[in-house]
Chain A
Amino acid sequence: MAVPTPEELDRAGAEAERLADAIGHSSLPLDPVYHRLDAVIVEMAQAGVSAADLLPATTESGVGFSLRQTRDGKTLWQVVATTSRASICDPQGEVRQRLAKGTQAGASSLVAAILTTLGLPLVAVPIAVTIAAVLLGIGIEAFCQWSALPANEPDAA
């Protein structure tokens, strides 16, 4: 698997910190994430990639009662949260270990841990940035609790 350069990681870390800051100052905390992912979808579509296809599947894709389209940042974030929850929230996982080290670890290190843990390709760095920003902005415990709720569907928000 290709690894981002230290410069790329630094840039990603800085962006995650900016986004985390915006989350902290927003009355609707996830709005900045949705906006960022709106832009990510467009950027990736221009590159011929579907953002949802970058994320790890945790089960086979199903046929179901009423599947929704991943049509915007809000719906993409729901997919991101659902697919990454098990790995991110694993008590023994690398992401938790990094966060446990506090701010010394730095946002870039967190982005690197997310990329490794989820096995994301380089093109998915912007998605890893949003996850890192949420973890920095609201905390991993809040993320894990929120993403476990059935009502985290965007239509419900």
Chain B
Amino acid sequence: MSLTQLKSALLAADFKPHCLTVGADVPGLSRLASPSSLHVFAKAWRHGNHATIEEAFSGDPWPTPAREAYASLPEEQRMEVLGLTGFHIHESVHKIDFLTTPFGAAFHGRCCLETLGFQECAPQIITWLEGPGEHPPMRELLSNTEADRVQDGLDGLSARIRWFDANRGAPPRFVEEGWGGDRSPVTLLNLELRKVTVHNLITTLELPEQTGTYLRPLTILESRAVALSLLHLFDRLGADDYACSEIARYVRIFYPHPSTSNDYTFLLDLFAHLGDAPDFPSLIDRQGPAVLKGILQNIVMLGWYALHAPPLMPTEVDSYANSSSVVRLLIAFKSLETAFSTQTVYPTAADFLDNVDDSDIALHADLVPCSDILAYCIQYLETVKARNRAQNTHPSLALHFDYIFEIQLAQLRRRLERGYASSLGMPNGGHLVGGFEDFDVDQHLLLETYEAPCDVQQWFALRENLLFTHARPQNFAVQVRSFIDSRPRARRALTGERRSDNTEPVLSEGFTAFETGDYKTAEPLLAQAAESGSALGAYCLGVVLRDRDERLLAEQAFARAADGGIAEGAYNLGVLLRERKDLDGAKEAFSRADSLGDPDGSNDLGLLLLQQGDLVRAVPALCRADARGHPEAPTTVGAFHAAGHAFLLARQAFERADARGSAKGSHNLAIACTAAGDIQAANVAARRAKQRGFRETDRHTSQDDITALAEQHDETPDLDSADFELAQETFAATVNHLEDRFPEFSAHDVIQPLCMGLFAGANVLISVRSASFEYATHLAEAATQCFADSVTFTLTPAIAVSRRAVGLAPREANFLILKDITRFRDDTLADLTPVLGDAPNEQRRFHIHGRFVALPNLTAVVAIKDLDHDDDAGKLAELAPLFWIGILVSL
């Protein structure tokens, strides 16, 4: 591998602020570095190839052996080390900035209100998209209404789209010279820059060298991320002259002129300009560490002030400047210039920023004090959060925004008393997460803690095209509709939207009879309409024939409706074909319904493919069904997440299913909540499952059991709590034993969810690389031993080669451990279905050569999957949905 490849991968791995997701397999990036580069990390971290959070973010110099190993490398490999380290810090800064600042509140709040605007204006937008001609990006259609304070309707939507476009980088035709006619230049650190206004909304400055670019929030975000990552690397390398020259080299390699966007280098080079150097690397080569540190800290601080731009505040004065991150940056720059010229020194960065608030220029521009801004942002987010909960008709998007607002509110509330002082925003000693105070709250700022559900990611890609690009891929309107239009689909199919003119009277009469259930009158009229080419007539005729059990004739009618583009026709055809075991025909029909945007079609296609072991196509189809609002699809998707390692995603998927009224979704959510120790939420979900008619079996996840657990353990069956003494003792001893034997793993982090999952009767799949397989086995065994008097039976592939051997499982077994499950024989895997499935306990048994081995006391099954053993044949496809918790042991 080479630095070039690593550079390319890092370039492609940008942070998606709407989804809070990094567009790359972050751990996988290290595979692109050479072994000798990774050797430096092995010397820097206690556990070799795995850094703790503290180790990853600390600003302390790397240990001497690591720095010596670094210095001995050739330049390319040294830059690999810095690239991997800098990338992680850079993207982490983005996430922190979007979740802890007033700018982040404005960004996500506006985005949520924009989504509600799309849903409110769905009929107009869909009519336009489905209409003839080309459909330019929506930013091209925006009115110039002074809609800054418009809350709803197309004007409000238009104002928000303009805001996002200006943030993102609007094309030159939306950029006008001057600020409301004032074309005098602005001088920033002795550099003259032209005033421009974007979308008649954002006043800013044109950036030099790259035509059409302007100072925008992105410039501030990137400058802060670059500055903080450079500071971090500088400190790691020892903060000396050598570190300084390495930083200069790093900037030249990763941020080369002129191909790098100005957003990354403009502020760095602006300071270089003040020091009469052509660019930042040249300046620090010449002037050394003190200047490097001073400039980077100033950029971090100025950017922090700029990011305190809140949403427009309802003050009596015009708060426009206050809510502009660019204007705030310029004002902070002016104060810095004053401090330079008067040689004023402030004790802390926060003191300087408070002083900016009190400056004449800030008062003249009606800037609001930091505490007022933070208080307003909290009020604003609470309002938007309530609107999101009440009005957002798309469950996944509603949950996604809710998740973001909860984090932002927790962060902003904590900052209320402290104003600008924040170790997260302006870290002490380069330690980016040194400001973590409450891990439960702050862990959401780490890159790894959240990945938006696939349908949320799909929406933000669609939105990108809808608003900003001219591309209109196939089914674009259908896909947009599935996110913003909440009208029942079935009703749409039966409206007169697709009636052809020549059949109108006949169809209309037939349709009216059909709707009132007068099939006798309806049938001949519908048949006549269908013969004349009416797809709707054919569809209704198909329903009449199917209800009369004329199945073959119904199939023909539905096929004709499908040919006419009626998704429900294709879906119903698929159902009939599936019922008569024509699975290829059914698959084709569901696929057609899927391509017409039908959620039922996507879901049933996914299930059929799953049944046939075609996971590669099944999962995307189920994700599409989920994205299109299918009530049951997220349950299956969640099971995949759980089986595949991602417990948080699984819970989110179950939450979507629950929100869509799925009884099984509620039931699974109850399991997931129990596993996470959130018994109150589990109780609520279990109650909903019961109300929705979920047929309770004898599993240990029933509402009654969960309620009993809650009562027995004071609402929180937490293994750390005093109410669970026996388990706690065992648990503590187990953790100690595991951590002594396997110091490279943090058993504490894994074993608690594992125990809680088992406690709730949830089947667990542990996925692990071969090298860590022994650890995973011990982990599974230790977890089952945390329960008093438990009986655990372990089944290995060697035993399972002879199917008779499973008969060795003792009748009293509570837990079954399946080691290296992908190496089990196909028929043994088939035998596992009744053990893993939903059957009552007395029916949970292996079926072997006509003989049953009953396991009436079985609580849960733990399977260990070796990721280095391929499962190309999809052997686990049928079993995967039966696991409810997935744990990835990642070393």
Q: Which residues of A contact B (CB under 8 A)?
A: 1-2, 48-50, 53-69, 71, 75, 82, 87, 116-124, 150-153, 155-156
Contacts and interface: CB of A to CB of B under 8 A. Distances in A.
A87 B473 contact: yes
A1 B16 contact: no
A23 to B, nearest CB: 23
A38 to B, nearest CB: 15
B469 A67 contact: no
Nearest 10 pairs of A and B residues by beta carbon = A64-B14, A62-B14, A56-B471, A119-B473, A60-B460, A57-B464, A119-B472, A153-B8, A156-B4, A150-B8
Given A69-B259, A120-B470, A64 B134 contact: no
Given A63-B15, A64-B14, A118-B473, A1 B465 contact: no
Interface stretch (B43-51, B260-268, B381-389, B550-558): B260-268
A57 B459 CA distance: 11
Tell me which of B5, B14, B18, B210 has the highest count of chain A C-beta atoms within 10 A of its own C-beta.
B14
Nearest to A72: B259
A48 B174 CA distance: 11
Given A119-B476, A150-B9, A153-B8, A60 B471 contact: no
B10 to A, nearest CB: 5
A119 B474 contact: yes
B87 interface: yes
Interface string B1-21: 010110111111111111100
A50 B32 CA distance: 33
Given A1-B134, A56-B473, A65-B14, 19 more contacts: A1-B133, A53-B171, A53-B469, A53-B470, A57-B468, A59-B461, A60-B16, A62-B16, A64-B13, A64-B23, A65-B11, A65-B254, A66-B255, A67-B264, A71-B258, A87-B473, A119-B471, A121-B470, A122-B134
Interface string B93-137: 010000000000000000000000000000000000000011111
A66 B17 CA distance: 15
Contacts of B15: 62-64
Given A53-B470, A64-B13, A69-B261, A59 B87 contact: no
A71 B473 CA distance: 25
Contacts of B469: 53-57
A2 B17 CA distance: 34
B91 A64 contact: yes
A127 B468 CA distance: 18
B639 interface: no
B135 A1 contact: yes
A75 B465 contact: no
Contacts of B16: 59-60, 62
A59 B470 contact: no
B23 A66 contact: no
Contact of B461 (A53, A54, A55, A58): A58
17 contacts: A1-B135, A54-B469, A57-B464, A59-B460, A60-B460, A63-B218, A65-B86, A66-B254, A66-B264, A67-B222, A67-B260, A68-B260, A69-B259, A71-B258, A71-B259, A119-B474, A153-B4
Tell me which of B2, B32, B461 has the highest count of chain A C-beta atoms within 10 A of its own C-beta.
B461
Contacts of A68: 11, 259-261
Contacts of A59: 16, 23, 457, 460-461, 464
Interface residues of B, number: 59
Contact of B11 (A53, A56, A124, A153): A153
A75 B259 contact: yes
A82 B254 CA distance: 21
A151 B470 contact: no
A100 to B, nearest CB: 19
B13 A65 contact: yes
Contact of A65 (B5, B91, B258, B472): B91
A32 to B, nearest CB: 22
A11 B376 CA distance: 59
B463 interface: yes
Contact of B134 (A2, A61, A63): A2
A48 B172 CA distance: 8
Contact of B471 (A49, A118, A153): A118
A58 B465 CA distance: 9
B851 interface: no
Given A57-B461, A57-B464, A59-B460, A48 B8 contact: no
A86 to B, nearest CB: 10
Contacts of B581: none
A53 B468 contact: yes
A120 B471 CA distance: 5
A54 B471 contact: yes
Contacts of A123: 470
Nearest to A156: B4
Nearest to A124: B470
Tell me which of A64, A120, A124, A156 has the highest count of chain B C-beta atoms within 10 A of its own C-beta.
A64
A62 B17 contact: yes
A63 B8 contact: no
B606 to A, nearest CB: 16
A118 B173 CA distance: 25
A64 B11 contact: yes
B845 interface: no
A126 to B, nearest CB: 13
A81 to B, nearest CB: 12
Nearest to B83: A65
Contact of B19 (A49, A50, A60, A71): A60
B487 interface: no
B14 A151 contact: no
Nearest to B9: A150
Contacts of B464: 57, 59-61
A102 to B, nearest CB: 24
A116 B2 CA distance: 38
Contacts of B23: 59, 62, 64
Nearest to A45: B172
Contacts of B258: 69, 71
Contacts of A67: 11, 14, 222, 260-261, 263-264
Nearest to A93: B474
Interface in B214-228: 218, 221-222, 225
A49 to B, nearest CB: 8
Contact of B260 (A1, A49, A66, A151): A66
A70 to B, nearest CB: 10
B844 to A, nearest CB: 40
Contact of B171 (A50, A118, A151, A155): A50
A117 B137 contact: no
Contacts of B218: 63
Contacts of B13: 64-65
